[in-house]
Structure 1
Amino acid sequence: MKLESKQQNLKDLNTFKLNSFTDYFFVVRNFEDLKFITSTLGDYKDIFILGGGSNVILPECIESLVIKVNFSGIRMISDFGNDVLIEAYAGEFWHNFVIHCLNMGWYGLENLAFIPGTVGAAPVQNIGAYGIEFSNYCYSIIAWDLLKGEIVEILARECFFAYRNSIFKQKTYKNFIILSVRVILSKIWNPNLEYFKINDYSTRKSLEDSKNINNLIEAIFDIRRSKLPNIKEFGNVGSFFKNPIISEESFLNALHFFPDLVFWEQRKDAYKLSAGWLIDNCGWRGKNYGSVAVYEKNALILLNQGLAKFDDVIGLAALIINDVYNKSGIKLEIEPLVYY
């Protein structure tokens, strides 16, 4: 087996639809491919693992070996009575995995429906939505250690999950290729509805009715459709900035600038702020920068209007970060992985 050099445009493999070229692109379909990559690792400057491309901002040229994992499949490993241990392989689309679980009567992940991307990317970002995070249900991650050339199991507690973060974002774990995730789900329908109650969805969608799980899925679809642009029309990665979590001192300081600041108290001395609200109230909603724009319906989202380039995206993000900081004292962080 030999990896031939052939220029590959990753435009259709990243949801921001940025032209991004690499001379080294390899699709992993089986364990022999994993062994091959390990044996040739020294031939490349670096590696970059590409999942569904829904949470990355790619430059015009990538010198690294780009690896895409195409393992797929979903299986039940163990049945514990009311709980089940489920394994999903990295190449599965996340939303399809969630819906499959619901169809099988395995509950817990439903608030994470309609999130784009693959299963393998879920633990990297610790994806979350509507009061739920991937880490709430993760049991372990199965990965290939490129340096040792072997399969390893990394327990959830060893992943050090945090808000949109995990060890898989750290350089020390760049040589791990996630092959599958294992999650513990319940056979009992016990939905987390706090977000929907706050936003008045529980009344309109009758979410309290345990027989109406479809109403919850419909509510999530309605919310996402109202806040997110059609990814087929405008390239984007969903939320471009993290909701900042700050100290009480920083929170009180920000209130001086914005008395109507939208926030959620995390604990006595920590507050999560709405990044979208900050960006909107600093006047950025609907603004353009080159071929990149801030979405008119949701200031948390940047859009590719057709001809966007990496520098345009990063340039607009930097302007927003600096402006919000100057006006509120709050430093925003970019949520997607930016490849430099």
Structure 2
Amino acid sequence: MKKPCHQNLKKFNTFGIDIYTKNFFRVSNYSDLEYLIDISKNYSKIFVIGGGSNVILSSNIIDALVVKIDILGINIISNDSNHILIDVGAGESWHDIVVFCLSRGWYGLENLALIPGTVGGAPVQNIGAYGLEFSEYCHSVFAWSFKNNCFIEIKAQDCLFSYRESIFKKNNNDYLILSVRLLLDKIWTPRIGYHDIKKQITNCVAKLTPTHVFDVVCSARRSKLPDVKALGNVGSFFKNPILEIPELEYLKLLFPNIVFWNHIPGVSFKISAGWLINICGWKGRIIGPVAVYKKQSLILVNINNANASDVLVLAHAIQEDVCCKTGISLEIEPVIF
């Protein structure tokens, strides 16, 4: 029988925190899953790692059962003239799937290019970028329920998706995501309303292609986001705050140049967390072995073997300063485990 083993998790979290566990179990296929189901009964806590791109590991030694999902594969479930439904293994690289789908004329994911992590991590965080969220192309999620001891297919409408939230994030000890079903378009509709994309796509709408949007998104991300292999990070560290109209109007009196965009038109707006951090003077600042990235204030980077305490010292200092100066509370985006 396959058993949990000792494992250093430094290479399994993109911030590069040096953490150790005695209970590491890799699931590469459904035979491994059978062993995991039996083994999991001996643990009160289970922590699932995909690409490790949205987590801060905070214990010196993790005593939970740490499960690494490596299930691969892409299968076509249904296919017609307008849409295709595919089932994708949770261990597949998210960006590689975006590239794969684009190359076959299956559209919709272009704005989510170059987001690090695995397919299984996409629904947990309801990943999003440049005006698009994962939930818009999610058909369902296939998972093992530790709580109910059974396989379960959860339809998108039951995943409780919201801004960087889902049922899987709220109940991270209950589900092991095995695959995700994506309903993609064969007739392309461009999504270029987001300001960063608009700025780069000018006078070319008649010639615009999905590949062009993909290239613009990749260029934009590479220009301001560090490569996790060069500088450990978890991407955006803070959520963009959501404010209703009266709150926004008050802030506009204090900060006429505040950066915001529609969340629910006519009801609420997202405020740029990066802009808030910038005006409070944090871009490029360093505290110990952690820094605010010089090109994008939403990113905290590991510059010298940081641990979770180092990261949270800087994060909390930013939160306190932004709240003091603007009245807005920034919420941490990655999971702290």
What TM-score do the two structures reach when normalised by structure 2? 0.95
**Distance verdict in 2 for CA 1:208–1:228, change over 3 Å:** farther
- Give me the whole-angstrom Cα distance separating, in 2, the residues matched to 1:30 and 1:72: 8
Q: Distance in 2 between matches of 1:185 and 1:198?
A: 21
SS at match of 2:36: helix
Is 1:334 matched with 2:327? no
Which residues of structure 1 form unaligned runs of 5+? none
Q: How does 1:1-340 map to 2 (within 5 A)?
A: 1-6=1-6, 8-59=7-58, 60-171=60-171, 174-195=173-194, 199-203=198-202, 206=204, 208-210=206-208, 212-266=209-263, 267-339=265-337
2:266 maps to a residue whose letter is: K
Distance 1:240 1:216 in 2: 25
In structure 1, how many angstroms separate the alpha carbons of the residues matched to 2:167 and 2:178? Answer: 16
Gaps of 5+ in 2: none
User: How far, CA to CA, are the matches of 1:125 and 1:5 in structure 2?
Assistant: 28
Provide closer, same or farther for how the CA distance between residues 196 and 107 of structure 1 changes in structure 2, counting only shifts above 3 A.
farther
What amino acid is the match of 1:297?
K
Query: Using the alignment, how far apart are the partners of 2:72 and 2:148 within structure 1?
Result: 23
Distance 2:251 2:52 in 1: 34
Q: Given the superposition, is the C-alpha separation of residues 207 and 50 from structure 1 closer, same or farther in structure 2, using an over 3 Å criterion?
A: farther
Deviation at 1:199, TM superposition (A): 3.5
Q: Tell me, yes or no, if the aligned pair for 2:130 and 2:196 is still in contact at 8 Å.
A: no
Rounded to whole Å, the distance in 2 between the matches of 1:196 and 1:282 is 22
The answer to whether the 8 Å contact 2:142/2:153 transfers is yes
Hey, which bits of structure 1, 4+ residues long, moved more than 6 A? none
* Separation in 1, partners of 2:262, 2:219: 26
* Number of residue pairs aligned between Structure 1 and Structure 2: 335
**Deviations for 1:8-57, whole angstroms, at most 9, x for unmatched residues?**
11111111111111110000122232222222223223100001011111
Superposition TM-score, scaled by structure 1 size = 0.94
**Contact 1:196–1:202 at 8 Å: present in 2 too?**
no
